[in-house]
């Protein structure tokens, strides 16, 4: 073998070696991306619609890629079982009550699986566990919702259009306010009156505040009534006396009522005099007779004093009376 053949053999060997190295590096790189050489566990979840999810798509947890989809197969009635390979290092952060949902890698990127961590009180996920899937809102559902929202918006716009026409036509309260200048003036007057009433109420509140401050002033009447027991006892005594006076006035009023009732009856002298004309006439006649009798009695006494039999007696009594007056003087 000459030198040229040796060089050719060496060159071929170098290229073959470089190809093997590139092949090994490629395998390691692809294996690293697919987590082929990383210790992992297998979990799964069942969906009713995977929305284009494919084998080999990524699995994310809290924004970090933690695994890949190993297989997608039908199970049951229109159910799809998605098997996932998860890194064992992230196992401790995922719990059995975690939710699984389908999302997109970016706005229009590949479909991915997103795992929510669940509550810390739940056990950690184990190999072979099945996680609960969350329903994915499909594009058709979004379009239906948008269409319904558009219909609602159209109905609202139509209502506003009708309302605007009615307002411009002067219908309703708002239309009347816009079309009727008299009502607008009255409304402004009412608003001014309301503003004045509000200002008056504010002023009253300020005055009441001042009055309450004065009432709470140390040494004032209200303070004495609230804190001075002596003044409070005096007020209680005054109230008791007023109550007693009121009771006495009530008793007096009752007595006066009874007396007035008796004056209205004919079973007593005053009642007879006031209410019985016949009885009053008899009483008047009796009084006249008594007056006449007293006059006659005086005349008889005068005559007795001039009688010669009793004249000495009356003279002695008169003399004794004069002596008594002189003795006093």
- Provide mean pLDDT across the span 112-118: 85
Identify the domain containing residue 125 by its residue range: 37-141
- Highest-confidence range of 18-27, 44-53, 158-167, 283-292, by mean pLDDT? 44-53
> Looking at residue 124, what DSSP letter applies?
B
Phi/psi at 169 (nearest 5 deg)?
Answer: -80, -5
Question: 217 pairs with which residues across the strands?
Answer: none
Same domain? 135 vs 55: yes
The pLDDT assigned to 255 comes to 78
Same domain? 106 vs 160: no
- Highest-confidence range of 68-72, 104-108, 183-187, by mean pLDDT? 68-72
Using the 3D structure, point to which of 141, 164, 179 is the last residue of a domain.
141
Cα 28 to Cα 22, 25, 32, 56: the distances in Å are 10, 5, 6, 16
Confidence of residue 201 (pLDDT cuts 50, 70, 90): confident
Using the 3D structure, point to which of 109, 141, 173 is the last residue of a domain.
141
- Provide mean pLDDT across the span 137-144: 68
Same domain? 101 vs 178: no
The pLDDT assigned to 49 comes to 83
| Overall pTM > 0.85 | no
Asked if the structure places residue 322 within a domain, the reply is no
Asked if the structure places residue 270 within a domain, the reply is no
Same domain? 200 vs 119: no
Same domain? 42 vs 135: yes
| 329 pLDDT more than 80 | no
Same domain? 137 vs 73: yes
Q: What is the DSSP string of 305-316?
A: HTSTTTHHHHHH
**Can you point out the beta strands (E) in 140-280?**
none
Same domain? 132 vs 48: yes
Asked if the structure places residue 92 within a domain, the reply is yes
Same domain? 107 vs 161: no
| 142 pLDDT more than 60 | yes
User: Which one has a higher pLDDT value, 261 or 75?
Assistant: 75
Same domain? 74 vs 133: yes
**Can you point out the beta strands (E) in 13-98?**
40-47, 58-61, 64-74, 80-87
Task: Look at the chain and report how many structural domains it folds into.
Answer: 2
Asked if the structure places residue 253 within a domain, the reply is no
Confidence of residue 154 (pLDDT cuts 50, 70, 90): confident
> Looking at residue 125, what DSSP letter applies?
P
Same domain? 43 vs 71: yes
Same domain? 137 vs 161: no
The pLDDT assigned to 70 comes to 92
Asked if the structure places residue 316 within a domain, the reply is no
Same domain? 88 vs 165: no
Using the 3D structure, point to which of 116, 141, 166 is the last residue of a domain.
141
The pLDDT assigned to 82 comes to 92
| 31 pLDDT more than 60 | no
Cα 133 to Cα 50, 96, 102: the distances in Å are 11, 12, 9
The pLDDT assigned to 210 comes to 80
- Provide mean pLDDT across the span 22-26: 72
Asked if the structure places residue 32 within a domain, the reply is no
- Provide mean pLDDT across the span 256-276: 66
* Cβ contact 130:98 at 8 Å: no
Asked if the structure places residue 161 within a domain, the reply is yes
Q: What mean pLDDT, rounded, does the chain reach?
A: 76
- Provide mean pLDDT across the span 200-204: 85
Asked if the structure places residue 315 within a domain, the reply is no
């Amino acid at each position: 073998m000459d030198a040229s053949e040796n060089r050719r053999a060496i060159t071929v060997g170098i290229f073959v070696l470089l190809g093997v190295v590139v092949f090994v590096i490629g395998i390691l790189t692809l294996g690293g991306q697919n987590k082929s050489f990383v210790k992992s566990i297998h979990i799964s979840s069942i969906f009713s619609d995977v929305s284009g999810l494919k084998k080999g798509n990524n699995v994310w947890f809290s924004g970090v890629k933690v695994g890949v989809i190993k297989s997608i197969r039908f199970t049951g009635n229109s159910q799809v079982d998605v098997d996932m390979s998860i890194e064992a290092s992230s196992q401790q952060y995922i719990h059995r009550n975690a939710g699984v949902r389908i999302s997109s890698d970016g706005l229009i990127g590949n479909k991915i699986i997103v795992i929510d961590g669940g509550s810390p009180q739940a056990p950690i996920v184990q190999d072979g566990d099945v996680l609960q899937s969350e329903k994915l809102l499909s594009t058709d559902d979004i379009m239906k919702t948008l269409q319904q929202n558009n219909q609602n918006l159209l109905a609202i716009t139509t209502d506003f259009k009708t309302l605007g026409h009615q307002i411009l036509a002067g219908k309703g309260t708002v239309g009347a306010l816009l079309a009727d200048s008299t009502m607008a003036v009255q409304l402004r007057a009412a608003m001014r009156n309301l503003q004045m009433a509000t200002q008056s109420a504010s002023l009253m509140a300020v005055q009441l505040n001042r009055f309450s401050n004065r009432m709470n002033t140390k040494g004032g009447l209200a303070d004495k009534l609230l804190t001075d027991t002596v003044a409070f006892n005096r007020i209680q005594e005054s109230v008791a006396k007023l109550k007693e006076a009121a009771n006495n006035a009530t008793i007096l009023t009752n007595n006066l009522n009874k007396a007035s009732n008796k004056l209205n009856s004919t079973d007593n002298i005053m009642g007879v005099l006031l209410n019985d004309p016949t009885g009053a006439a008899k009483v008047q006649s009796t009084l006249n007779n008594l007056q006449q009798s007293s006059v006659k009695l005086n005349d008889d006494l005068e005559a007795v004093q001039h009688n010669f039999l009793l004249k000495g007696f009356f003279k002695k009594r008169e003399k004794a009376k004069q002596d008594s007056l002189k003795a006093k003087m």
